[in-house]
Chains A and B, each alone.
Chain A
């Protein structure tokens, strides 16, 4: 025979929870059966016949004897709050703060707006206070905007405005009034990546990756620490990782060079070189090579800010010790002339090529069509860099029966002395 379970009932007396054996449990369960036989309701036949009417014996108690604050959402702009404060805990709090406080404490309900916050008691967006009188009570609280999160505190606020919380509520979020503001399409970027790894793989590779175990060069290793009470702060991170992390904040970083914004830029400028550059992906070294090919003004317009190229920046300088007299600092080294004078000497060359043919003939230079004047002459002018410059001209007569070809090579050499 199974042991009969002892029926107990929890009661709260003087703020303490105790259990007593319940005697009336059985009789309470019988209440629905005795409803119809109640003489008080016998006069009204309609109510008596209804099976849902219960005798009003289940009065809720006025006090449970504990501190509690509960928030419930009514709609987008209303929150319902109900609470109970034990008088003993209130007096003990008053006793505790009496020494330091200025007096004049009022019982208030403080509502914190914690929308989009990991609330820790200090970082609420804002809060407002409602003065309350009753130790047990309820209230509808009106808000001025929808789609917000709230947490409430009940406590004492003294004349100086300092707040001593007593009990904290649950967290509620009011619903949105309208449809969401977010309607833009967000497409996932899928890249054909071979080493897609699950979470387990990532964990394993983290352990295997020796990079994370290497300590910073600039920072002394734990063995070199002199005093014992000094706390060791490890930073398992290198300068490059910091750089990578922050380059993500930059909208025009190298990795997103083929991004939509950059492409739009290129199309707008209608620069063929830019378009070639944006359609392909390049390694850093290749980019530097390409970088050196184009005139500085182009890069000035596009990416004047480029930390990768000017990588040896001031952070390296800051690590150095103060400069000796015969050394120059970084900013001085940037200046063109070490003597600080304005004398300069530059030299450049251009080449002019001219020719003559039938006015209706077609002339191509290095595969590009050359514009002819009405009398059949043409003139071309180029800047002449150092090295070999081939010019291959092909002419075709107007009736396409005859073809001629002239190739000319120009070589330029420049010697610098006392530069």
Chain B
């Protein structure tokens, strides 16, 4: 089966969030199952090759012209993808499936379908409504919502990453229920095997050996709720004055959040590390005591799976995906997205470290039982076939 995946990010070009990991791992898993997979994504660096074969997957890195308006720029990118797709198809033959990811590439399937007949699948990783922190904004946001609506109706099948997101999509865009299916994300939990010296990692970031450490991983934007965690810090410092809070990730709110930490008076206990990935991030997961995900709207939360793979308990808000996959008080704590509740969750994890590490172990069990990219690819394949 010949499959075309469209995504605006991948690990091998530009990696921003969960979509990059999802697309790259899905492409690899499909390739392992014996399918020909072509990924169309944007150019990472100007000097990058336009075509590359990485781990058996064909990557087409498409250049496009920038624009001041973000939506226009993304439309330029989509045009470039469509062009590259048609060129590839003329070269190697017809594709069986075209599979777009998020609103950013939803126009690709719309435009391809206008020209040639294809089976189209659209994966929704988050909705514009959720990214705005559950608000309907005007301007570009409304345009993006319209893109999502057209894409969802144009696709033959829609995949969402959690049941909460499925409900959201059905509610907002009026899609029929039997058209939308839920496919959970996966994780390569073997990457987190092995033992490291947590003290050395902590020393690298200026954290004491016995300090309780909470890790926040994610884009620093309103949707992910880092401000809620900052507001919760004073409550925790009251009882654990050596607690440290590590923020990994970049985003438009980063400087605001640093300001907020100074204003609240807790900047001494926070570390802002920017975007990290690979072994540095894995080491941080292993060196921390708990992972906090105080999102206002979280479609799935791959961070949860990564934390569990490293054997750490998660403290996550119960909106969306985390509410579905976490078993409260068994492998994580579900909290409300407000500072007091987040403080309760972190305090509960710190109160009894044996219990917290037991929860982390149970998380690892959960990850091993249910979440892997092969299972995700199997599920996606079964959707391709019908």
Contacts and interface: CB of A to CB of B under 8 A. Distances in A.
Nearest to B385: A268
A189 B366 CA distance: 27
Interface in A300-326: 300-301, 303-305, 307, 313-315, 317-319, 322-323
A329 B365 contact: no
Interface stretch (A48-56, A69-77, A229-237): A229-237
B106 interface: no
A331 B193 contact: yes
Given A218-B358, A264-B386, A245 B327 contact: yes
Contacts of A305: 372, 374-375, 378
A314 B368 contact: yes
B273 interface: no
Interface of B is mostly: helix
A315 B368 contact: yes
Interface stretch (B90-98, B110-118, B329-337): B329-337
B330 A242 contact: yes
B195 A246 contact: no
Contacts of B129: 126
A249 B34 contact: no
A35 to B, nearest CB: 53
A125 B135 CA distance: 9
A269 to B, nearest CB: 11
7 contacts: A116-B167, A122-B336, A125-B134, A242-B331, A300-B32, A315-B365, A318-B360
B311 interface: yes
B190 to A, nearest CB: 7
Nearest to A334: B190
A145 B368 contact: no
Interface stretch (B50-58, B81-89, B211-219, B348-356): B348-356
B25 to A, nearest CB: 13
Nearest to A247: B369
Contacts of B325: 249
B355 A233 contact: yes
Interface in A241-290: 242-252, 261, 264-265, 268
The 4 closest A-B pairs by CB, nearest first: A246-B369, A305-B374, A246-B370, A315-B364
B331 A181 contact: no
B194 A329 contact: yes
Interface stretch (B11-19, B150-158, B170-178, B245-253): B170-178
Interface of A: 115-116, 120, 122-123, 125-126, 145, 148, 181-184, 216, 218-220, 230-231, 233, 235, 237, 239, 242-252, 261, 264-265, 268, 300-301, 303-305, 307, 313-315, 317-319, 322-323, 329-331
A115 B134 CA distance: 13
A307 B372 CA distance: 10
Nearest to B381: A265
Nearest to B134: A126
Contact of B361 (A181, A252, A319): A319
A245 B174 CA distance: 32
B368 A219 contact: no
Given A261-B382, A265-B382, A315-B361, A304 B369 contact: no
B143 interface: no
Interface of A is mostly: loop
Contacts of A264: 382, 385-386
A235 B34 contact: no
A244 B319 CA distance: 24
B170 A181 contact: yes
Contacts of A145: 171-172
Q: Which of A123, A125, A315 has the most CB of B within 10 A?
A: A315
B343 interface: no
B177 A184 contact: yes
Given A218-B358, A264-B386, A305-B375, A249 B370 contact: yes
A330 B361 contact: no
Contacts of A220: 354
B285 interface: no
A330 B364 CA distance: 15
Given A233-B329, A305-B375, A249 B365 contact: no
A142 to B, nearest CB: 14
Given A219-B355, A242-B331, A329-B194, A318 B374 contact: no
Contacts of A126: 129, 134-136
A331 B134 contact: no
A122 B176 contact: no
B171 A181 contact: no
B337 A122 contact: yes
B379 interface: yes
Given A181-B176, A231-B352, A329-B194, A301 B33 contact: yes
A242 B378 contact: no
A242 B366 contact: yes
A319 B195 CA distance: 11
Contacts of B171: 115, 145, 148
A250 B374 CA distance: 11
B330 A314 contact: no
B318 interface: yes
Given A126-B135, A300-B32, 12 more contacts: A123-B336, A125-B134, A126-B134, A181-B177, A230-B351, A246-B366, A250-B375, A264-B385, A305-B374, A313-B364, A313-B368, A314-B192
Contacts of B327: 242, 245
A329 B192 CA distance: 12
B375 A219 contact: no
A293 B240 CA distance: 57
Nearest to B323: A123
Contacts of B355: 219, 233, 235
Contacts of B337: 122-123
Contacts of A252: 375, 378-379
Contact of A247 (B33, B178, B192, B370): B370
Q: Which of A181, A242, A252, A314 has the most CB of B within 10 A?
A: A314
A222 to B, nearest CB: 12
Nearest to A265: B382
